[in-house]
């Protein structure tokens, strides 16, 4: 199925929304969304301030954006290289590595934001 050469802004947003929906169909996408929901609930519970919310929201956005790109890259690689290929594996592993970097950084941000507040309760 081909798309028209030009399509409306609404159609572009619909395509982007479909991309997000496709990301949520994968195990890792659901895991990342679950972790984001935990971070948001923790932020609400601990009443974090505006700057802390900024760090948490940017971390969540970074991880979800990279997970979406990773999912797209995996599908594109599968399309052009349905059989095993070392270069295809490298491309997939590199994209997954980018998600891992963002995820680890997000955990560090979460620790910096949440641990001092949790420590007050202990």
Provide the token pair at 88: 């295809």
Quote the strand ranges of 1-122, DSSP E: none
Domain-by-domain residue ranges, the chain?
27-121
pTM score, whole prediction: 0.90
Structure confidence by residue, pLDDT tens digits, 11-60: 999 999 999 999 999 999 999 999 999 999 999 999 999 999 999 999 99
pLDDT in tens, 67-108: 999 999 999 999 999 999 999 999 999 999 999 999 999 999
- Of 60, 61, 57, 52, nearest in space to 35 by CA: 60
- The CATH code of the domain at 27-121 is 1.10.287.3610
Q: Which residues are identified as catalytic?
A: 67
């Amino acid at each position: 199925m081909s798309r028209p050469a030009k399509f409306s802004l609404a159609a572009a947003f619909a395509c982007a929304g479909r991309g997000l929906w496709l990301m949520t169909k994968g195990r890792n996408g659901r895991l990342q969304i679950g972790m984001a929901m935990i971070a948001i609930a923790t932020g609400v519970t601990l009443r974090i301030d505006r700057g802390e919310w900024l760090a948490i929201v940017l971390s969540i956005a970074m991880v979800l954006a990279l997970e979406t790109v990773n999912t797209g890259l995996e599908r594109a690689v599968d399309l052009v290289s349905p059989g095993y290929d070392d270069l295809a594996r490298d491309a997939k592993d590199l994209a997954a590595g980018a998600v891992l970097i963002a995820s680890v950084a997000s955990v560090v941000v979460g620790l910096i934001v949440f641990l001092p507040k949790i420590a007050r309760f202990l």
